[in-house]
Amino acid sequence: MVRSVVRMEENRALGAAYAVVEKGALGVLLVLKDRECGVFDYTAMNSDKFQYLLLKHYDTPSRAYEDFLKLVGKMCKKREDSKYFRNHLPEDNRMIRTAEGEHGVTREERALYEERFAAFRQFVAGERSRILKALGK
């Protein structure tokens, strides 16, 4: 079993939090901004082809932050050969989490969340180098 190394950073000025969970040479980056949280392949963040492995939309910022912390813990428990660390799946893994529960984004919900999704994508792309620097990469 490979040990997990976690580094976290909060940027209150941007309303964001970041964490990286590394397992040997592999790692995942978690980015929380407002009511969106994405999990990315940390080693691919320097390329132009970075893509989220999981993206969650939340109904409240407090629920988003609470789940962000849980996701950090879950990533620590994942195996190196999981879909998050080594064996990425070609899927659009978007979820919605509310007080009622969690489910995959439906076709109809995609349009409802498109503006938030675009803003999150733009934030991550624009702040990527700052996020990586804050986490020591």
For the stretch 4-25, pLDDT in tens is 899 999 998 899 999 999 998 8
Taking residues 100-106, report their average pLDDT: 95
> What share of residues in the chain are helix, strand, coil (percent, to 5)?
35, 35, 30
d(CA 35, CA 14): 13
| CA-based R_g, the chain, Å | 14
> What are the pLDDT digits (tens) for 47-59?
777 789 999 999 9
Asked if residue 36 has pLDDT above 90, the reply is yes
Q: Is the pLDDT of residue 65 over 90?
A: yes
- The answer on pLDDT for 89 being more than 80 is yes
Residue 102 has a pLDDT of 95
Which pLDDT value is given to residue 96?
96
pLDDT of residue 78: 93
Report the chain's mean pLDDT, rounded to a whole number.
92
Helix (H) or strand (E) holding 103: strand 101-104
Residue 137 banded pLDDT, cuts 50, 70, 90: low
Give Cα 120 distance to the centre of its chain: 10
Give residue 134's pLDDT.
84
**What is the distance between the alpha carbons of residues 123 and 77, in angstroms, rounded to a whole number?**
28
pLDDT at res. 1: 64
Mean of pLDDT values over 69-74:
96
| Torsions phi, psi for 94 (to 5 deg) | -110, 140
Give the whole-angstrom CA distance, residue 74 versus residue 78.
6
Q: For 35-100, where are the E strands, in sequence order?
A: 36-41, 52-58, 94-98
- Give the predicted TM-score (pTM) of the model: 0.93
